[in-house]
Structure 1
Amino acid sequence: MRLGVAKRDITPWGSVPLAGFASRNGKGFDGIDKRLYVRTFYFERRTETNAVEKALLAIADILFWDSRRVKALQRMIHRTWGIPEEAIILHATHTHSGPSVSYRTIHIGDPVPEYVSFLETETLASVEAAIACAEPVTIERGVGSCDIGVNRRVKIGDAIEIGLNESGIRDQELTVVRFAVEGTNRTKALLTHYACHPTVTNANRVSSEFIGVAMDLLEEQEGGVSGYLQGCCGDINPAVRSDLDTVDSLGRRLADSVRLTLRSGLESVGPAAIRYRRVYVDLPFDRLPAPEQLRDMLTSAQPPEIRAWAERLLDEPDALSPSIPLELGRVDIADGLALLSMSGEMVVEYGLFIKQLSGNKIIPVAYSNGMSGYVTTAKQREEGGYEPIGSTLYFGLPAPFRHDAERMVLHSLSDLIDGQH
């Protein structure tokens, strides 16, 4: 296995709107607390017949990638460097304190085309730099734990609110993958996987949040490039949400958990063929609004976000489609080590399902290759709350997903997991 890595600064200039909190009201940001980066990992393996297998992972400190622009970026990477499009994962750490790059969201930050172009240019530059520094590596993997995330769905009366549900389902497992330059003990790269929303503070300031604090610390102390893989954290928030000091303290706790895992002993991971497969699930919407209903909303005394939502649905020809595709992709990079990417804001149950069914051989990576919206369980759909119901407005979706969406997603996940053992 050969690995190349690169890190490029994608911090915005000027004062563009940040994505993630409607409370910012589309204002430009007030300052920069923690710079944003795209970290890129290029995997390469030469077969016995001298063929070259390739895969790519690019991790950006953004809310999520725009579904429409991802495909063009993947095609460009494929044409330029020959990496199969299905083997390219464009992943987001899901920080709520970076510029928006999605053209579908409503009232959580509008994209600035100049920044979107800048992000894509820097991503391509990072791919080129990563390929240029590829060298043979050995791979080790370890599993630890971290307790900074907690379930956020709380039942208050008959409603589900966002809060701290200490007894709710969460995933405290922390996975660390270390790549060392072959023949040395020098760390080339680290990948850290955990599931927790980076939403400690809603301050209108640029920040890669506790994730950025942790990754920067690990790069300083362990060497190499450290990338964070965001798990299925759709209903998982930080246990403490406060201010910038809390961002720093949680980042240090995450970094400490990673270092403890590294020191507790890692298992060697052997090389294997780089394989990839991609499938799509058409997530069905519940009853769609009629065009006349939407037109009435434009003239009635509705909140501005409701009018913006109705206008968006009327203006876009495909906005009232009966379903939206959820992309699921599996990329195997070593023996018993694979990434399963999902283009949705997946709740924690899906991550636990993937890890259990695969025997912890597959790392669930949400917020990848675009965004289809929150993907919840059928039980959560019945309970209601922000994730299955309220979020549809901000994602520009015409309606919540049907109850049977969970069954469809689990079926396709099972196929991806079982089909390549």
Structure 2
Amino acid sequence: MSALIYAPSGFAGHIGVARRDITPPIGIYNRNWGAAAGEVATGIHRPLTLTALALMRDASGAQPLVLLSLDLGWWRTREDEWEVRSAILDALGVAERRVLLHLTHTHAGPSICRADADRPGGHLIGPYLDHVRAMCVEAAREAVQRAAPAVLEWAYGTCALARNRDLPDPDANRIVCGFNPHAPADDTLLIGRVAGAGGEIRATLVNYAMHPVTLAWQNALISPDFVGAMREVVEAHTDSAPCLFLQGASGELAPMEAYTGDADIADKNGRGLGFAALSVLAGMLPPGQRLRYTGVVESGAPLAAWTREPAALSTHLSARMLAIEIPLKPDLPSTAEIAAQLAAANEPFMIERLRRQHRLRRAIGAGDHPSSPSSIWLWRVGDALLIATPNEAYSHLQIELRRRFPGRAIAVLNITNGSYAYLPPREMYGRDQYQVWQTPYAAGCLERVIATCSSAIAEMLSE
């Protein structure tokens, strides 16, 4: 009888985890919405945290892979992001390809831009970023030091919370950002479970694509959005093992109930995702186990019989940093032109749009260039793959990579090691749509990223 085996994607090695609190002070500048009436945080809904996960092949601690997930929104400048990430690289003594600094993308967090120092509450940003940098270094080091024999195994599930947010405006010829009940949405949920030598859960990873935009312009509280309640639910049922949220390719995905000032709705969304994650966890095989088909048992129907057996998990651990040139739109305004528009603007929402546009133009290159250099990080962790980008890809990225490489867990992470612009599908260009006019990238940008990732994955898997 030919062998028929079911085994989840897994990795066996040394794994460590550490957490720090990065809740900012009340009064810090946190204007993240053009429609916001206020400028500063007036309270705390839930604390913000960072969680570090270290992956190593053995106990030597040499050349670890370290993933940090932070409850923050997005970087406004390259310099602020690099100041934090380079400190982690220096502290660990590792190459750039070995650290992923991932933001969960809450829209209810503080500004993390030192250039906002002149704004109300802006004097608190610099000291806060110094604190975040110090906590990242501490957590990364601790995760490496605490690494012990463990296995990381993955399982797919679904969660119906994420909905398409590209809604045709019923009153105008444009696409607006909001719940579209008639368009499909990627509801894929990927769960990673770290288990120690005794089978105890030491950490969980939740990879899901859904913008944390429950709390919007009406809200003045610091919050991780739905991520906080999700984490609370999962950790309450896993003996307080730290839970890392990994924001997937969510360019067009958001909760059905979003853009509110009601923190209870953010918690409701989080609990929904948390219980979906627990459902996937409950359905996983015990750590280090697989299923083998043992043949047919004749009964009222011919029954396929399977049995558990130990699995030899992969110890493969490698990382690549891919350079990619992403074509730019040919008619991008210069930084000087944007600055002139900003000086003439008087509506708050337009001022916010232009401030973001000016910083983005500086980040991708202020000159007249046909393309902008970017990077993609590709990790192979046992049989699983992690693909990270600093941009905001549409879900097509994760859908297509999972289609091309079936049978293995693939986690896609947006807003990692920087944050720049949207990567919409080619067919959306030509529309009056936020993600299209926000991005400086030309049509075909997402497809180029998919092709680059696919080639690199095929290469890595052939090693």
Q: Give the shorter-chain TM-score range.
A: 0.7 to 0.9
Question: How many residue pairs are counted as aligned between the two chains?
Answer: 408
> 8 Å contact 1:198–1:210 — kept in the other structure?
yes
Aligned with 1:367: secondary structure?
coil
Q: How far off its partner does 1:417 sit?
A: 2.0
Equivalent of 1:83 in 85, 94, 118: 94
Equivalent of 1:373 in 409, 413, 421: 421
Q: How far off its partner does 1:196 sit?
A: 0.3
Does residue 412 in structure 1 map to residue 452 in structure 2? yes
Aligned with 2:373: secondary structure?
strand
Distance 1:326 1:164 in 2: 31
**Equivalent residue for 1:397?**
none
294-303 or 224-233, which deviates more: 294-303
Q: How far off its partner does 1:134 sit?
A: 1.1
Does residue 132 in structure 1 map to residue 145 in structure 2? yes
Distance 2:188 2:455 in 1: 24
Equivalent of 1:329 in 351, 354, 377: 377
**Equivalent residue for 1:6?**
18
Distance 1:217 1:134 in 2: 25
Runs (5+) with no aligned partner, structure 1 = 393-399
**Equivalent residue for 2:249?**
232
Does residue 356 in structure 1 map to residue 356 in structure 2? no
Does residue 338 in structure 1 map to residue 351 in structure 2? no
Q: What does residue range 373-392 of structure 1 map to in structure 2 within 5 Å?
A: 373-389=421-437, 391-392=438-439
**Equivalent residue for 1:158?**
173
Equivalent of 1:98 in 109, 118, 127: 109
Distance 1:231 1:116 in 2: 25
One-letter amino acid of the structure 2 residue matched with residue 59 of structure 1: S
Distance 2:109 2:149 in 1: 34
Distance 1:255 1:293 in 2: 46
Aligned with 1:3: secondary structure?
strand
Q: How far off its partner does 1:228 sit?
A: 0.7
One-letter amino acid of the structure 2 residue matched with residue 406 of structure 1: L
**Equivalent residue for 2:293?**
none
165-174 or 262-271, which deviates more: 262-271
Q: What does residue range 181-200 of structure 1 map to in structure 2 within 5 Å?
A: 181-182=196-197, 184-200=198-214
One-letter amino acid of the structure 2 residue matched with residue 272 of structure 1: T
Aligned with 1:14: secondary structure?
coil
Identity %: 23
20-29 or 273-282, which deviates more: 20-29
Q: How far off its partner does 1:233 sit?
A: 0.7
Deviations 1:303-352 (A, max 9, x none): 44466568769999942452333321101122x11210011011111121
Distance 2:179 2:228 in 1: 23
One-letter amino acid of the structure 1 residue matched with residue 49 of structure 2: Y
Q: How far off its partner does 1:3 sit?
A: 0.8
One-letter amino acid of the structure 2 residue matched with residue 240 of structure 1: E
One-letter amino acid of the structure 2 residue matched with residue 207 of structure 1: S
Larger CA Rg, structure 1 vs 2: 2
Distance 2:320 2:180 in 1: 36
Q: How far off its partner does 1:413 sit?
A: 1.7
Distance 2:375 2:361 in 1: 25
Deviations 1:362-421 (A, max 9, x none): 2111110001211111112222311111x35xxxxxxx3211323322221222221211
Aligned with 1:42: secondary structure?
strand
Aligned with 2:213: secondary structure?
coil
305-314 or 13-22, which deviates more: 305-314
Q: How far off its partner does 1:186 sit?
A: 1.2
Deviations 1:250-290 (A, max 9, x none): 11111111111111124748232211111122222221325
Aligned with 1:117: secondary structure?
helix
Q: How far off its partner does 1:19 sit?
A: 5.4
User: How does the TM-score come out when normalised to structure 1?
Assistant: 0.88
Q: How far off its partner does 1:17 sit?
A: 1.7
One-letter amino acid of the structure 1 residue matched with residue 326 of structure 2: L
Q: What does residue range 256-405 of structure 1 map to in structure 2 within 5 Å?
A: 256-266=275-285, 268=288, 270-286=313-329, 287-289=331-333, 293-294=337-338, 297=341, 300=344, 303=347, 304-305=351-352, 308=355, 318-322=365-369, 323-334=371-382, 336-359=383-406, 360-389=408-437, 391-392=438-439, 400-405=440-445
Distance 1:231 1:23 in 2: 26
Q: How far off its partner does 1:146 sit?
A: 0.4
Does residue 177 in structure 1 map to residue 217 in structure 2? no
Distance 2:221 2:91 in 1: 35
Please provide the CA RMSD for this pair: 2.9
Deviations 1:211-232 (A, max 9, x none): 1111122122203111011101
Q: What does residue range 142-157 of structure 1 map to in structure 2 within 5 Å?
A: 142-156=155-169, 157=172
> 8 Å contact 1:340–1:365 — kept in the other structure?
yes
> 8 Å contact 2:228–2:267 — kept in the other structure?
no
Q: How far off its partner does 1:31 sit?
A: 0.7
**Equivalent residue for 2:292?**
none
**Equivalent residue for 2:9?**
none
> 8 Å contact 2:206–2:245 — kept in the other structure?
yes
Q: How far off its partner does 1:115 sit?
A: 1.3
Distance 1:296 1:77 in 2: 38
